[in-house]
Amino acid sequence: QSVLTQPPSVSGAPGQRVTISCTGSRSNIGAFFDVHWYQQIPGKAPKLLIYGNNNRPSGVPDRFSGSKSGTSASLVITGLQAEDEADYYCQSYDSSLSSGAVFGGGTKLTVL
């Protein structure tokens, strides 16, 4: 059971918008810790997609955006493309783990 809760799967047609939620608690997302998002293509290492709640590393398209509110965070992908089909993970830190890292269980995005 993951500390952060994500939906197991989401789907959308090309060009559509999808949202992936990440729900935590007052000891992680609801504390002062930032939320980061990763994209993982099967067989590959995770790749940083969003850092610090809503910042994109260089090279990540602006179709990807993140937000945080209270004890939850969201990843929004607009203008869905076939290449976006992957697993997505949220990540934060937890004061009950002495600032240890925590992950969501992952969300499989299917592009229809």
Partner 1 sequence: QVQLQESGPGLVKPSETLSLTCTVSGGSISNHYWSWIRQPPGKGLEWIGYIFYSGSTNYNPSLKSRVTISVDTSKNQFSLKLTSVTAADTAVYYCARMDFWSGFYWGQGISVTVSS
How is residue 46 written in tokens? Answer: 């995770």
Residue whose token pair is 């945080």: 68
Of the two residues 52 and 61, which places its CB atom closer to partner 1 in the complex? 52
Residue whose token pair is 């937890």: 94
Distances (CA, A) of 91 to 1, 39, 41: 14, 11, 17
Q: Select from 15, 17, 26, 52 the one that contacts partner 1 (CB under 8 A).
A: 52
Shortest Å distance, C-beta 13 to partner 1: 26
| Contacts to partner 1 by CB under 8 A | 2, 33-34, 36, 38, 45-48, 51-52, 55, 89, 91, 93, 97-106
